[in-house]
Amino acid sequence: MTIALPARMEVRRIPFDLSQPVMIAFAALLCVLVVLPVSWLVIYSVTDRTGAFTLGNFRQLLTDPVFVDPLITTLTLAISSGIICCAVAAPMGWLVARTDMPFGKVIRSLVMASFVTPPFLGAIAWELLAAPNSGLLNKAYRALAGAEMDEYLFNIYSLPGLIFVISCYTFPYVFVLVANALDRIPGDLEDASSILGGRTWLTARRITIPLALPAVLAGALVAFLQAMTLFGSPAILALPAGFHTMTTKIWSLFQYPPKPELAAAASLPLLVLTIALLRAQQLVLGRRGYSVVGGKTGEPRLVRLGWLKWLALALVFGVLMLPVFLPYFALFNATFSKVASQLIWFDNFTFKNIHFVFFELSATKPALQNTFILGTLAATIGTVLALVIAYLTARQAVTGHRVLGFLATAPIAIPGIVLGVGLFLSYTRPPFVLYGTLLILLIAYVTIELPAAYQQLQSAFRAVHGDLEDASRILGATRLQTLRQITAPLLRTSVIATWCFIFVSVMRELSAAIMLFTSETRPMSVLIFDLKESGDLAAIAVLGLTMLIITFVVVTLVNRIPGFGGGARLRNT
The number of folded domains in the chain is: 2
Mean pLDDT for the stretch of residues 387-416: 82
Do 404 and 270 lie in one domain? The reply is no
Do 287 and 396 lie in one domain? The reply is no
Interatomic CA distance for residues 294 and 271, integer angstroms? 40
Do 187 and 277 lie in one domain? The reply is yes
**Residue ranges with strand state E in 117-169:** none
- Return the closest-CA partner of residue 175 out of 112, 285, 89, 88: 89
Residue 350, domain member (yes or no): no
Q: Which residue has the higher pLDDT, 294 or 502?
A: 502
Other beta carbons less than 10 A from residue 546's beta carbon: 19
The phi and psi torsions of 298 (rounded to 5 degrees) equal -85, 165
Do 286 and 373 lie in one domain? The reply is no
Do 410 and 501 lie in one domain? The reply is yes
Do 406 and 492 lie in one domain? The reply is yes
pLDDT value of position 14: 47
Interatomic CA distance for residues 450 and 199, integer angstroms? 47
Last residue of a domain, one of 283, 310, 337: 310
Q: Please report which helix (H) or strand (E) contains residue 420, including its range.
A: helix 416-426
Do 141 and 268 lie in one domain? The reply is yes
Residue 12, domain member (yes or no): no
The phi and psi torsions of 48 (rounded to 5 degrees) equal -95, -170
Q: For residue 279, what are the domain limits?
A: 51-291+303-310
Last residue of a domain, one of 310, 338, 353: 310
Do 274 and 401 lie in one domain? The reply is no
Residue 43, domain member (yes or no): no
Do 562 and 455 lie in one domain? The reply is yes
Rg (CA), the chain: 26
The mean-pLDDT minimum among 46-50, 81-85, 129-133, 152-156 falls in 46-50
Do 366 and 280 lie in one domain? The reply is no
pLDDT tens-digit readout, 523-555: 999 999 999 888 889 999 999 999 999 888 887
- For 51, 219, 275, 421, 424, the CA distances from 264, given in Å and listed in that order, are 14, 29, 17, 7, 10
Query: 169 near 89, Cβ under 8 Å?
Result: no
pLDDT tens-digit readout, 482-529: 777 777 777 888 888 889 889 989 998 999 999 999 989 999 999 999
Query: 351 near 197, Cβ under 8 Å?
Result: no
Residue 70, domain member (yes or no): yes
Residue 404, domain member (yes or no): yes
Residue 18, domain member (yes or no): no
Residue 21, domain member (yes or no): no
pLDDT value of position 1: 46
pTM over 0.85: yes
Mean pLDDT for the stretch of residues 290-310: 68
Last residue of a domain, one of 240, 275, 310: 310
pLDDT value of position 119: 94
pLDDT value of position 167: 96
- Return the closest-CA partner of residue 106 out of 303, 325, 300: 325
Q: Is the pLDDT of residue 161 over 50?
A: yes
Q: What angle do CA 42, 47, 48 make, to 5 degrees?
A: 140
pLDDT value of position 290: 46
CATH of the domain at 105: 1.10.3720.10
Query: 457 near 384, Cβ under 8 Å?
Result: no
Residue 216, domain member (yes or no): yes
Query: 134 near 247, Cβ under 8 Å?
Result: no
List of long-range contacts for 559-563, beta carbons under 8 Å, 24+ apart = 561/493, 561/496, 561/497, 562/493, 563/493
Q: Which residue type, as a one-letter code, is found at position 16?
A: F
